[in-house]
Amino acid sequence: MDTTLDDPLVGQTLDGRYRIDARIAAGGMATVYRALDTRLDRILALKVMHPALAADAAFVDRFIREAKSVARLAHPNVVAVFDQGTDGPYTYLAMEYVSGCTLRDVLRERGALRPRAALDILEPVLAALGAAHRAGFVHRDMKPENVLIGDDGRVKVADFGLVRSVDTVTSTTGAVLGTVSYLAPEQIENGVTDTRVDVYACGVVLYEMLTGDKPYTGGTPAQVLYRHLHEDVPPPSVAVPGLAAPLDELVALATARTPDLRPYDAAAFLGLTLDARSRLTDAELDAVPPQSRAEERSSAEDRTSVVPRVPAPQPVEHTSLLVAPLPVDGEEPPAQPAPSRSRRGPLLVLAALLLILGVGTGVWYISSGQFTKVPNLLGKTEAEARSELSAAGLGVKRVDRKFSDAFDRGTVMDSDPQGGKRIRGNGAVVLTVSRGPAVVVVPDVKGRPLEEAKAELTKSGLAPGIVTQAFSQEVPQGSVISTNPDGGQKRAPDTAVSITVSKGRPVPVPSVTGRPVDQARAALQDLGLKVETAADEINSPFPAGTVANQSVGAGAQAAAGDTVVLTLSKGPRQIPVPNVTGQEADVARKTLEAAGFKVKVERPFLSFSSTVDAQSVLGGQTAPEGSTIILRTKGL
């Protein structure tokens, strides 16, 4: 049921600026509205804290912390925060409006996703969280509701309301904020949160995307919390038979109950995700999941809430994954307790750890001449990599392009197989070429020649856009006056950058009409202008052979080197003269002027007649257009 009409804020304007048009979503702590920024005339999302919580300094502080944290990230996969303020009882955040839906909406409608679609969503989520982790923040509330999928396919992470600085994370007592279905065991036991709790939540989200359901369910939130503490997340292939092993490994790595067995942060998990994708065939990536929808359950499991913390239990063998330390030379390996549950979970975790460390198991059957070692291509340009592969007798299967902060745009950031690995002779290698950083700093190209500026923009991962010209007293002709956006600003790769190029100092163009063509040409060329003569001549009041028209008008400004086209005169047009003798002088004047002539009336001395007695050019004869016809009136 649409409750927008029942909301007292709909139709109101906050802070004299944000007009609230409709409610988007409501939660336990805040409501999100679609609003119009009347000052900048743009649609945005307005997140308004419930007035009952505005008196709680801790909640207000969390609101402000969210604004400051997200403002520092400036990442294309993070919902941007534009403004924060208070209007009476309402504390709000003005945020980027993403037209689309949430991942929760997708899962409710479609159920399980194909692995390719799941990874296409997971990777930008991890990129956003990786940026947050590198900036020193932990999200703490990752779930499908906080993953927005725009109508244009962009994926963005929202709701950094529970963000916490990594440097200030400590154990808490009593309760923990979060969503029960995605809480890591250490959050439940002792309230400790670091980057690995986000990794755990992403592992649960991946499981849910691959299977269409959460790994843990229960009649009450307490039952779900208990299962987080005491059960391993099952491999998604148990729920969806046929899913590839690398997907099971990813889920097992991210959801290990022991934090030290998980990837340290989202950036590390992203690297493992990219590696897993590279090991999947197209058929495995596009495997069709069962046609079922995610089971509808109480929204209590999906809502951010204050969850009572579960006291840490006494250590027992069946609640912890024990990893034996390596024996020191001369020592006996320590005895291991006999596990009382399936060994599948620990083996999956161990296998994943081996993958992280690059340790493989198996036997290579290598015969001389049958296998070739892949050259190390990291950091090489694509052309250099192709050349080296060709020299080794290898080809290129395909080229993938991905963002990277570590590798320059256009250089190889990964290969499959990797450098040093062996591949059957005449085999092909998949290259992953860097697109450069996900956010590009626009280079400052002011004062540089146009072609040089275009090359610099292209090298930086941007697209040279529309080129316009303007006069400049300071910047030499052909060099860049300015760009839009300006140098130093951050933009997404391949953003078009418009360029304004100097035409040099303006040259005032003089009037040369009516002048002989040679004089006119010399006057213009002395000012640094080029001169051309039109092929056709025209009739004009000016004498034949003189300039009748110039393409750049007198008083206009031109640039040095601009061309002025001169059109020469054939002289005035010869037109017939009407016969006006016998007419009244005023009538005769109007008749001749209408025909294209000028008129002069002469009256004899003491003549009081206004009748035309004679005209200087007889009626029926021709005269130059615009010439003067003299009329004489009758005398005494």
Q: Are 505 and 473 in contact (CB under 8 A)?
A: yes
Closest to 613 (Cα-Cα) out of 590, 593, 631: 631
Q: Are 115 and 244 in contact (CB under 8 A)?
A: yes
Backbone CA torsion sign across 228, 232, 233, 238 = negative
* Two structure tokens written together for 466: 């529309």
Q: Are 561 and 529 in contact (CB under 8 A)?
A: yes
Q: How many CB atoms lie within 10 A of CB 310?
A: 18
Q: What distances in angstroms separate CA 427 from CA 64, 292, 390, 519, 617, one per listed residue?
A: 56, 40, 11, 75, 98
Closest to 373 (Cα-Cα) out of 329, 420, 333: 420
Distance (Å, rounded) from C-alpha 483 to C-alpha 501? 9
Distance (Å, rounded) from C-alpha 565 to C-alpha 123? 60
Distance (Å, rounded) from C-alpha 82 to C-alpha 39? 13
| 141 catalytic residue (yes or no) | yes
Phi, psi of 252 (to 5 degrees): -65, -40
Look at phi and psi of residue 56 and say left if phi exceeds 0, alpha if psi is from -120 to 50, else beta.
beta
Phi, psi of 522 (to 5 degrees): -65, -40
Q: Which residues pair with 506 in a beta bridge?
A: 559
Look at phi and psi of residue 436 and say left if phi exceeds 0, alpha if psi is from -120 to 50, else beta.
left
DSSP 8-state assignment for residue 625: T
Distance (Å, rounded) from C-alpha 54 to C-alpha 51? 5
Q: Are 635 and 604 in contact (CB under 8 A)?
A: yes
Phi, psi of 164 (to 5 degrees): -145, 140
Of 141, 198, 414, 562, the active-site residue reads 141
Catalytic residues: 141
